[in-house]
Amino acid sequence: MPQDVGYRQEATRVLIGDRNVFREFITVHRGTIKGGGETVIGNGGYFMASSHIGHDCRVGNDVVFINAATLGGHVSVDDYATISAFSAVHQFCRIGKYAYIGGFTVVTLDVVPFAKVAGMRPVLFYGLNAIGLRRQGFTRDRIQVIKHIFKLLFYSDLNTSQAVEMIQSQIPPGEDRDEVIRFIQSSKRGIIKKPSGTWDEESE
């Protein structure tokens, strides 16, 4: 049952896809009426011991939850994201595709696709999830495009809206560019944007 004080035994449910691995002491809570009635988990996920998926969450395919990774209610986690040990994601936050959440992180804003973030008060942006992208077969050219996007978004003096406009003007339409733009433009909580240091052209 969902850990929601307004739950009154309604007939809500959990939908779980194929090829998932659930290790010891996992908790998955079904949805609530006010949240749409469903908690959904995709295919091929690996959920390590003591992970928790709260009510009304949407979890994509091929994700990795390391020990005690925790989602509050109504969280969305997109495909190939990794949430490291003892990290918590606040209600209604979104984790983009191929994002990496470092250990002991408290996420209260949305995490842009392909990004690597970690920390508490504040959570900082640590660059591109380059290792994860290479493992998934991203080419060097494709990674370079994402690095250009991140340079404009995280290391310029532009605000988020201005950075998106600059990305659209400087980078041709493509799967990865459009994924980042769509994610930002649909964000309701705002994105984690504070970088951990200055831009390093040779990093990653």
Asked if 55 is an active-site residue, the reply is yes
Active site residue 74: no
From the candidates 31, 73, 96, 127, which is the catalytic residue? 73
- Give 37-84 pLDDT, tens digit per residue: 999 999 999 999 999 999 999 999 999 999 999 999 999 999 999 999
Q: Looking at the predicted structure, is the pLDDT value of residue 133 above 80?
A: yes
CATH code assigned to 13-129: 2.160.10.10
The C-alpha atoms of residue 119 and residue 57 are separated, in whole angstroms, by 23
| pLDDT tier for residue 199 given thresholds of 50, 70 and 90 | low
- Which residue spans of the chain are classified as CATH 1.20.1180.10? 131-185
SS3 annotation, the chain: CCCCCCCCCCCCEEEECCCCEECCCCEECCCCHHHCCEEEECCCCEECCCCEECCCCEECCCCEECCCCEECCCCEECCCCEECCCCEECCCCEECCCCEECCCCEECCEECCCEEEECCCCCEEEEECHHHHHHCCCCHHHHHHHHHHHHHHHCCCCCHHHHHHHHHHHCCCCHHHHHHHHHHHCCCCCECCCECCCCCCCCC
**pLDDT, tens digit, 9 for 90 and up, residues 148-175:** 999 999 999 999 999 999 999 999 999 9
pLDDT for 84-96, tens place per residue? 999 999 999 999 9
Is 73 in the active site? yes
From the candidates 29, 52, 55, 74, give the one annotated as an active-site residue: 55
pLDDT recorded at residue 202? 44
Could you tell me where in the chain the CATH 2.160.10.10 domains are found? 13-129
**Residue 136, by phi and psi: left (phi above 0), alpha (psi -120 to 50) or beta?**
alpha
CATH 3.30.390.50 is right for the domain spanning 131-185:
no
